[in-house]
Amino acid sequence: MRLERLTPAHLDALEALEAAGQVHPWKRATLARALADDTLDVWGAWRDATLLGHAVLAWLPFEAELQAITVAPQVRRQGVAGILLAHLVTRARQRGAERLLLEVRESNAPALALYRRYGFDEDGRRRGYYSPAEARGGVREAAILMSRPLAVRAVD
Ligand SMILES: CC(C)(COP(=O)(O)OP(=O)(O)OC[C@H]1O[C@@H](n2cnc3c(N)ncnc32)[C@H](O)[C@@H]1OP(=O)(O)O)[C@@H](O)C(=O)NCCC(=O)NCCS
C-alpha cells in the first residue's frame, strides 16, 4: 500500500470511494473544492491503481482537524484507516500542530473504536448536530468531539 497526496486529477476515484464507503458521502463539488484547497491535506491510500481509503486534514492556527476518513468496504479491518491516521499524526506534528481534533456521529461505533484505539479522547458532545441517520428513525444525532494531543513531551 502507498500513501499519496490527492490532487484534482484524483476526483473520479475519490468520488467513487465516497459513494461506496460513506452513508452520507461528500458531493462531487465538495470533494473538488477540498482537492483544490491549500488549507486542506487530502491523502489517499492506494494499492496499485485502486484507491482503498482517504483522509482529509484541515490546518487550523494551532491545531489540525480530521474532517473525513473513509475506507472502501471490501478492505475494512485490514489497517488502512490506522495507516492513514498514523500518517496524518506525523504530518500534523511536523507542522507544529498541538492537537488533532475531530467530530463523529455518536452511532458510528467503528469510527469511535478506531479513534479510541489511536489515542483520541472525548472532549464533549454537540446535541442534535447531525441530520438523522436512516437507521436511527428520524432522530437527529449528537456529535462526539474528540482530540488527541500531539506535542512531544520535553524531557526534563
Ligand atoms: C471507520 C473506518 C474508517 C475504519 O477503517 P478501517 O480501515 O476498517 O480501520 P482499521 O482496519 O485501520 O482499524 C483499526 C482499529 O480500529 C478499530 N475498528 C475499526 N473498525 C472497527 C469496527 N467495525 N468495529 C470495531 N472496531 C473497529 C479496531 O480497534 C481496529 O483494530 P483491529 O482491527 O486490530 O481490531 C471505516 O469503517 C469506514 O470507512 N467507515 C465509513 C466511513 C466513516 O464512518 N468514517 C468516519 C467518520 S467520517
Q: Domain 2-149: which CATH class? A: alpha beta
Quick: pLDDT tens for 89-139. 999 999 999 999 999 999 999 999 999 999 999 999 999 888 876 656 678
Residue with cell 474528540: 146
Mutation to probe ligand 1, out of 114, 115, 148 (largest number of atoms < 8 A from CB): 114
Quick: pLDDT tens for 52-69. 999 999 999 999 999 999
DSSP 135: G
pLDDT value, residue 130: 83
Quick: pLDDT tens for 19-39. 999 988 999 999 999 999 999
Q: Whose CA is nearest to atom 24 of ligand 1?
A: 110
Alpha-carbon separation of residue 132 from 70, 106, 136, 141, 144 (angstroms): 19, 11, 6, 6, 15
Closest ligand 1 atom to residue 77 Cα is 11
